[in-house]
Structure formats: C-alpha cells, structure tokens
Structure 1
Amino acid sequence: MLNLSIVLEDSARKIPDATAVVFGDMRLPYSMIDTVASQVANLLVARGIGKGDKVALACPNVPYFPFVYFGILKAGAAVVPLNVLLQSREIAYHLDDSDAKALFCFEGTPELPLGERGKAGFEAAKGCEHFFVLPATPLATESAYGESIWAALGAMAGEFETVQTSPDDTAVVLYTSGTTGQPKGAELSHQNMLMNAMVSDKMFPGSEERDTYLGVLPLFHSFGQTVVMNAGFLRGATVVLMPRFEPGEALSLMASENVTFFAGVPTMYWGMLTKIHADGVEAPRSLRIAVAGGASSPVEVLKDFERTFGIGILEGYGLSETAPVASFNHADRPTKPGTIGTPIWGVEMKLIDGDWKTIEGEGPGEIAIRGHNVMKGYYGRPEATEEAIRDGWFRTGDIATRDADGYYAIIDRAKDMIIRGGFNVYPRELEEVLMTQEAVSLAAVVGVPHESHGEEIKAYVILVPGATITEDELIAWSRENMAAYKYPRLIEFRDSLPMTATGKILKRELR
C-alpha cells in the first residue's frame, strides 16, 4: 500500500491546526484541506469513479487545486492536471486521450474564461461523464456552467478511508507540452511522485521554524506540484498560493508572509530583479532557499540574484517524465553556477549518442536518466514509450556536457539547436553572451530559414529600460564577441517575449 495522498494526511494528523495554505485573506489549516479532500473522494465514489479511473483537473493556483488533487488520489483514481491556458478543442483532446471519467474545472475570469472552455471541451469529449465547476466565488452552490462542487459536496462525509493503491499504480498523468506533435501523457506512479517529493524535501535543509513556500509555479505542472505543493505538505510547511506571477506582487507577498522557500523558472527571477532595480524595491530578507529549474538560468541572473538577495540560486533539472527532479546543485556540496548539478539520490544519469551508445568523458551528448523517478510510459502509446525508454533508461532530448566532478551542464534542447552552414550552434550559449552586454536585459535566439546557409541566426532582445543601442550596433558587438559562424545576423527588439504558462520562452512562436 502506497498512496501519494499520505503527504497531506500525515501532516493533517500531526499538525491539524497549522496553516497549510494561504490565499489572499484565507488561511486554511491542514485538517480542513484533508477534510474537503475526503469529501471529494466520497463524491467520486458516489458517482462510480474509483481505483484506476482518470479524473481531469483544470485549475490555477487556488485552494481548489489541493482539495481536488488529493481527493482524486484518496479515491484511488489518477489525476490528469490540465494547463489552464488550453482552448476547448485542446481540453477535449486531453480528456479523450487520457480516458478521463470526470473534469473538475475552475470557472475562470473574464481574462481567462476557463469555465466556458472547459464546458465546451467536456461536451466535445466522448467518454467523459461528469463535469464539476469550481466557482470563482467562494462556496457558491450555483454556476452557469453546470454542477458546482459545493452543491455536490453538500451531503458528503468529511471522513474517507483512502483506497489502497500499490506503488506502481498510476497517481498522475502529466501531459508534455507537445512541442513535437500531439501532447503525450506521462504516466507517473505513486512511487515516482512520492519518492520525488521525499528526495526534494531532504535536499533542502529544514530550519527551526516552519517553512513558508511561495506557490507561484503552476501546480498543474510537475515542478510546482512536486517541489512546492507535495514537498511543502510533506514538510508541514505553509504554501502561499499565487495564481499568476507578477514580480511586484511576488516580492510583496514574500515580505508580508516571510517566505523562506521560493522555486521559480529563470524568467521569474529575471522579472523580480528587473523590478527591484527599476523601482528601488527592497529585496525580501526572509528567503533561505531559492530553487530554479524549467530552463537554464542565465549566469548574469544568477550573479545578480546572489548580490541582491544575499543567497545563491540552486539550479536543478528534470522533466514531466521524471516526476520531475533528476539532478540538482545540492545544498550540502559545492554549487557550480550554470550547471544542473549532479543526479539526486537514487537516480543515475549518463550521456548517450543517437544510437543509445554511452558517451564517456565530457561529451556533449544527450542526457539519459534511470531511477525511481522515471515514468511508467506514455499513456496509451507503446511505440512512443519504446522510443523513449530502453533498459530502464529514459532519453531526454537535452544535450549536455559533464565535468570531471560529475556536474552536468545543459547546452540546449536537441531540437533548439541551429545548423548554420553545416555548423552546430547552440542558442543558449549565444543568449548567455548577449546578456553580458549592459544594454541587454533578456535575449532569445532562434534559427530562421535561409536559402544558402539552411538556417540563419536571429536574436529577439528586450533592452534594459532607458538603454540606447541600435540593432546594427548590437550585431557589431556580437561579431566581436562570438565566432564568425555563431553571431546573430538578425536582431529584433521587443518589449516582451511569448512565454508558456510556466514561464518558459516559446521559441517556436519566435521562429
């Protein structure tokens, strides 16, 4: 018997009155989160949903997320978290592809009409039978879109005996963003998810006081789910939920709630630092641990953060398929800025070539991962699973080097690599160099089609406020600082860059 819901249940038993979640003016204790999750489990069972079924959840970072997530797990079903930016056609695809029996959907806001999209997606899906609305107004029992969760929970008991699941039963189906073809559902077991939360918790030393986590990474994404919510609940910490990242608001929440633990993607760190320098905002002093993942942090951002906040950023690496954490700059060993550290406890990494052959020494090569964190496979896709996993090793599609101490450094996504005139060019390396130019605040480099070279190198650049540099001047500067085959021939200044809901720069939209 092993069920991921233990991370909530155990803390609810030990510290029932301690605050588990802060959202706006709401402070919800562990006992209440656990009680509502039990009601959700009772509701699912009453509707004929149980062990082995899939239940979808489309919800931003609001208290409904843990209520429903842990309720689904208690019932022995698997959670299918959906990106809140999906359109109705995409929601229908995910419901059909995962064989979801029910959808819990947040009503949304005028800016994010999730309820409307969810309802349309639910109606277009073939096998999904139940639609529950998570109303934007707390405790509202009616919704224009269908049955309100509060009306449905009205008659449900607040106790529930968690269904016995085995370590290898599916706990979560996480959809990969589908940059190549249709999104695929990575099937993660209770053991995958629980071990990853436990190892993540152990990696970051605790303090005398209870920790406070800022939960701004989307919980529907594996990074926020495992490292913030699941590891936070396991630790008995308080998780301050923030539905949308806004640098000023994040900084003021850190200060007012005495946040000790922050996990974010590099663009979030960049946004906070830009805000501090532009508006003279005070950097919060409560922060003990800062963790980055999701993409490689520019070294300039790492240096600036340490100067400004007085602590370093610990960089790690992982994927939805690895639950997600695979390697880290561990707090108890020397950290190497610009690297993704070494494999976490119980996990192995190696570099391979296109034919799965092991590459010795520095590489570069593609990262392959084996251990307790590797998914069972892609749901309903045996061919894709066979392509990705061999002898327990999962191939990531990320190209890296490895130094003599075993620290890995990501060069780039295999698919982001630019081939210009026969030379391999890694965009990330050029972005790092561009960001050392004092006028440049953020850069994204992509390959664009070119008649004779195959691809030409183009940089999209956000300038530091008030900076004066022309495109031609920046191209000339690049030519002096980069090899002739590498420097960007095309530069376009932008006020902002397209990003995913998780804050990664969307390169495919720039191409």
Structure 2
Amino acid sequence: MLNLSVVLEDSARETPDRTAVIFGDLRLSYSLVDTIARQVANLLVSRGIGKGDKVALACPNLPYFPFVYFGILKTGATVVPLNVLLQSREIAYHIDDSDAKAFFCFEGTPELPLGERGLKGFQDSGAEHFFVLPAQAFATESQYGETLWAALDGMSGEFETVQTAPDDTAVILYTSGTTGQPKGAELSHQNMLLNAMVSDEMFPRQGNDVYLATLPLFHSFGQTVIMNAGFRRRAALVLLPRFDPADALALMAAENVTLFAGVPTMYWAMLTAVRTGAAEVPSTLKTAVSGGAAIPVEVLKDFSTTFGTDVLEGYGLSETSPVACFNQPGRPAKAGSIGTPIWGVEMKLIDAEWNTQDELGEIAVRGHNIMKGYYNRPEATAEVMNDGWFRTGDVARRDEDGYYFIVDRAKDMIIRGGFNVYPREIEEVLMTHSDVSLAAVVGVAHESHGEEVKAYVIRNAGATITEDELVAWSRETMAGYKYPRIIEFRDALPMTATGKILKRELR
C-alpha cells in the first residue's frame, strides 16, 4: 500500500492545527485541508468514480487545488492536472486523451475565462461529470454548472483512503508538446512520493517553514517541490495564482517566506523589481531553488549579491517526476551547473544511438523517478526509453567532479554553415553586456548557411545601445560562426504559463 495522499494525511494527523495553506486572509489548517479532500473523495465515489479512473483538474494556485488533488488520490483515481491557459479544443483533447471521467474546472475571471473554455471543452469530450470551482469563495451557484460546494453539501468528512500499489498511476502530467501533440507522462505513487521525499530532504529545515507557491501547481515542479514536499514538511504554503515580481516580494516579506522556487525568468524579474525600486528584498528567505531552464550566470551572481542567498539550481522533466539532478546542500554549488544526480538516480551522457559519451552528450536518466511511460503511446515511450534509461533531449557536459552543465536543448541547437551553435552560450555572453537585461537566441532560416543566429534582447532601463552596436560588440566577443548577425530589441518575450521563454514563437 502506497498512496501519494500520505504527504497530506500524515501531517494532518500529527499537526492538525498547523497552517497548511495561506491565501489572502485565509488561513487553512492541515486538518481542514484533509477534511475537505475527504469530502471530495466521497463525492467522487458517490458519482461512481474510483480506483483506476482518471479525473482532470484545471485550476490556478488556489486552495481548491490541494482539496481536489488529494481528494482524487484518496479514491485511488489518477489526477490529470491541466494547464489553465488551454483553449476549449485543447481541453477536450486532454480530457479524451487521458480518458478522464470527471473534470473539476475553475470558474475563471474576466482575464482568464477558464470556466467558459472548460465547459465547452467538457461538452466536446467524452467525460461524464463537470464540477465548477467558483471564483467567489463558497459560492453554491455558477452559470457553468454544479459547483464544488453544492456538490459537497452533506458529504461526510470521513473517508478511508483506497489502497493503491506503489506502481499504480497517481498523476498523468502532459508535456508541453513542443513536438506534435502533447503526451501524458504516467507517474506512479512511488515516482511522485519518492521525488517529494528526496526534494524535502535536500533543503535545510527552518523550523516553521513557509513556502511561496507561485510556480503553477498543475506543473510538475510546483506540484512536487512546493506542494507535495511542503506538505510532507508541514510547511505553510502561501498561494500566489499569478506571478508578479513586486507582489511576490511583498508577500515574502509579509508572510516570512523561507523557501522560494521559481524559473530563471522569475529571478530576473525580481531582481529588476528591486533595482527599479518597485520592491524591497525580503529578510526571511533562506532557500532559493531554480529549475525549468538553465539560469543565466549573470542572474545567479546578481541574485546572490542582492538577496544574500545563493540560488540552488536543479534539473528535471515531467517524465522524471520531475527532479533528477540538483546542487546538493553540503556540497559546493557551481555557478551555471545543475549539480549532481539526486539520491537513487543515475545519469549519463549518450549519443543518438544510446552510446555512452565522456564529456558532451544528451542526458539520460535512470531511477525511481522515471515515468511508467506515455499514456496509451507505446511507440512514443519506446523512442525515449531503453533498459530503464530515459533520454531527455537535453545536451550537457559533465566536469571532472561529476557536475552537469546544460549546454542546450538538442532541438534548440543551431547549425550555421556546418558548425554547431548552442543558443544558451550566446545568451550568457550577451547578458554580460551592461546594457542587456535578458536575451533569447534562436536559429532563423538562411539561404547559404542553412541557419543564421538571431538574438532577441530586452535592454536595461535607460540603455542607449543600438542593435548595430550590439552586433559589433558580439563580433569582437565571440567566434565568427557564433555571434548573432541579427539582433532585435523587444520590451518583453513570449513565455509559457510556467515562465519558460517560448523560442518556437520567436523562430
């Protein structure tokens, strides 16, 4: 018997009155979160949903998320978290692809009309049950259908969690689908639980820990490192549905946040907010964690100097639950490195034929964190799995101490006139220029060279450098085949809901 919901249940039993969730003025105890999750479990069972069934959930970082997530797990069913930015057609695709029987959907706001999109997606899918998570706290009516609170009326707060095996599927996480249709990575209770436990053990405890949850909980990073590891630690989770650097820093100060996890663009935005005087540096922050993409070394240095806290970089994917590699506390962290494999996980570098490489290659991972496979996609699974090893699509180098450094996504590599150009390296160099705030480098089609190197750049406030001047500076700073011949200034760059720069929109 192993069920991921133990991360909540154990804390609710041992520290029932401790605060689990903070949202605005709301303070919810562990026992209350667990009781509502039990009611959700009773609701699902009353509608004929149980072990082995799939239930979809589309919700930003609101208290509803843990209520429903753990309620689904308690029944032995599988949670299918959906990105809240999906359109109706995409929602229907995810529901049908995962065979979800029920769908819990946030009612939405004028800026995020999720209820409208969700209801249409549900109606176009084969799912049977639709529950609205109302925007007004405890509202029992919604124009989109039956609300959670109306459905929970009269449901018992007692529920015996269904016994699940370690290898039963706990969560199906959809990968962003940069190639073809999104695929659902099937993660077992053991995958998710061990990853949360190892993540929790890696970070020093502060006694009464407070985590800022602004990474989307529907994404593997926020789910494992913040929610599941935080609940296991009996920390308080401060929920922030939409990341804004000034809001995040103000919340950190107001709620005495000790741990923040984010993606590189969030760190860059917080530094910018402090620099421009829009926010103060919070005093209680002890642990800062970054993942999702490699963080520029200039941002690492600046953050450490400004905030007095080093950013610990890690690495992983939805398919690896997600953490695979980390700068472990107690070992020296190396700037620009994703660290070393976490406990119980092996990594190696390979070529296209799975042959082991010494210094540079594609990362392959094996261990307790590797998904069972892509749901209902044996061919796609076979493409990335070999003898327990999972190939990631990320190119890295390993130094003599066993630390890994991401060079780039295999598919982001630019081939210019027969030379391999890694965008990340160019971005790092551009960001050492005093006028450059953020850079994203892509390959664009070129008649004679195949691809040309193009950089999109956000300048620092007050910077006067021109695009031609930056090209000239690059020519003197980088090898002839590497430097960007084309530079375009932008005020902002397109990003995913999780804060990753969307290079495919820049190409």
What is aligned with 2:242?
244
Please give the per-residue CA displacement for 1:236-274, whole angstroms capped at 9, x wherever unaligned: 000000000000000000000000000000000000000
Amino acid at match of 1:315: E
What is aligned with 2:78?
78
What is aligned with 1:123?
123
Q: Distance in 1 between matches of 2:367 and 2:278?
A: 45
Gaps of 5+ in 1: none
What is aligned with 1:341?
339
Q: Distance in 2 between matches of 1:341 and 1:230?
A: 22
Q: 2:146 aligns to what SS in structure 1?
A: strand
State the 1:171 CA deviation. Answer: 0.1
State the 1:421 CA deviation. Answer: 0.6
Q: Distance in 2 between matches of 1:204 and 1:52?
A: 33
The match for 2:290 among 289, 292, 295 is 292
Q: Distance in 2 between matches of 1:280 and 1:182?
A: 40
State the 1:281 CA deviation. Answer: 3.3
Matched, 1:472 2:474: no
The alignment of Structure 1 onto Structure 2 pairs a total of residues equal to: 507
Q: 1:95 aligns to what SS in structure 2?
A: helix
Q: Distance in 1 between matches of 2:280 and 2:305?
A: 13
Q: Distance in 2 between matches of 1:414 and 1:168?
A: 31
Amino acid at match of 1:155: G
Q: 2:354 aligns to what SS in structure 1?
A: coil
Q: Distance in 1 between matches of 2:167 and 2:30?
A: 27
What is aligned with 1:104?
104
Please give the per-residue CA displacement for 1:149-191, whole angstroms capped at 9, x wherever unaligned: 1000002100100000000000000000000000000000000
State the 1:481 CA deviation. Answer: 0.5
Amino acid at match of 1:286: T
Q: 1:280 to 1:75 in 2, by over 3 A?
A: closer
Structure 1 length-normalised TM: 0.99
Matched, 1:448 2:444: yes
What is aligned with 2:434?
438
Matched, 1:428 2:429: no
Q: Distance in 1 between matches of 2:279 and 2:451?
A: 42
The match for 1:495 among 483, 491, 498 is 491
What is aligned with 2:398?
402
Q: Structure 2 matches for 1:304-383, cutoff 5 A?
A: 304-360=302-358, 362=359, 364-383=360-379
State the 1:280 CA deviation. Answer: 6.3
What is aligned with 2:271?
273
Q: Structure 2 matches for 1:99-178, cutoff 5 A?
A: 99-125=99-125, 127-178=126-177
Q: Distance in 2 between matches of 1:177 and 1:46?
A: 33
Please give the per-residue CA displacement for 1:468-511, whole angstroms capped at 9, x wherever unaligned: 00000000000010100000010100000000000000000000
Amino acid at match of 2:66: P
Please give the per-residue CA displacement for 1:293-324, whole angstroms capped at 9, x wherever unaligned: 00000000000000001110000000000000
Matched, 1:386 2:382: yes
Please give the per-residue CA displacement for 1:111-149, whole angstroms capped at 9, x wherever unaligned: 100000000000001x20000000000000000001101
Q: Distance in 2 between matches of 1:134 and 1:429?
A: 44
State the 1:416 CA deviation. Answer: 0.4
Q: Distance in 2 between matches of 1:279 and 1:477?
A: 30
Is 2:194–2:368's contact at 8 Å kept on the other side of the alignment?
yes
Q: Distance in 1 between matches of 2:404 and 2:348?
A: 9
State the 1:210 CA deviation. Answer: 1.1
Matched, 1:193 2:189: no
Amino acid at match of 1:28: L
Q: Distance in 1 between matches of 2:283 and 2:314?
A: 23
Amino acid at match of 1:470: T
State the 1:282 CA deviation. Answer: 2.3
Gaps of 5+ in 2: none
Q: 2:40 aligns to what SS in structure 1?
A: helix
Q: Distance in 2 between matches of 1:281 and 1:198?
A: 33
Amino acid at match of 1:370: R
What is aligned with 1:25?
25
Q: 2:276 aligns to what SS in structure 1?
A: helix
Amino acid at match of 2:369: N
Matched, 1:41 2:41: yes
What is aligned with 2:5?
5
Cα RMSD after superposing both structures: 0.6
Q: Distance in 2 between matches of 1:186 and 1:329?
A: 25
Amino acid at match of 2:141: E
State the 1:205 CA deviation. Answer: 1.5
Q: Distance in 2 between matches of 1:455 and 1:303?
A: 32
Please give the per-residue CA displacement for 1:345-368, whole angstroms capped at 9, x wherever unaligned: 0000000000001112x2x10000
Amino acid at match of 1:459: A
Q: Distance in 1 between matches of 2:274 and 2:257?
A: 17
Please give the per-residue CA displacement for 1:382-427, whole angstroms capped at 9, x wherever unaligned: 0011111110000000000000010000000000000111110000
Q: Distance in 1 between matches of 2:471 and 2:344?
A: 46
Is 2:250–2:280's contact at 8 Å kept on the other side of the alignment?
no
Q: Distance in 2 between matches of 1:438 and 1:135?
A: 47
Structure 2 length-normalised TM: 1.00
Amino acid at match of 1:131: F
Is 2:442–2:503's contact at 8 Å kept on the other side of the alignment?
yes
Q: Structure 2 matches for 1:61-76, cutoff 5 A?
A: 61-76=61-76
Q: 1:103 aligns to what SS in structure 2?
A: strand
What is aligned with 1:51?
51
Q: Distance in 2 between matches of 1:285 and 1:205?
A: 17
Q: 2:499 aligns to what SS in structure 1?
A: coil
Please give the per-residue CA displacement for 1:329-385, whole angstroms capped at 9, x wherever unaligned: 00110110100000000000000000001112x2x1000000000000000000011
Q: Distance in 1 between matches of 2:46 and 2:450?
A: 59
Moved over 3 A (4+): none
Q: Distance in 2 between matches of 1:448 and 1:383?
A: 31
The match for 1:483 among 479, 485, 488 is 479
Q: Distance in 2 between matches of 1:190 and 1:267?
A: 31
Q: Distance in 2 between matches of 1:488 and 1:359?
A: 29
Is 2:271–2:302's contact at 8 Å kept on the other side of the alignment?
yes
Q: 1:155 aligns to what SS in structure 2?
A: coil
Q: Distance in 2 between matches of 1:205 and 1:227?
A: 14
Amino acid at match of 1:98: S
State the 1:285 CA deviation. Answer: 1.2
Amino acid at match of 1:419: I
State the 1:279 CA deviation. Answer: 1.2
Is 2:493–2:501's contact at 8 Å kept on the other side of the alignment?
yes
Q: Distance in 2 between matches of 1:14 and 1:288?
A: 25
Matched, 1:411 2:410: no
Q: 1:223 aligns to what SS in structure 2?
A: helix
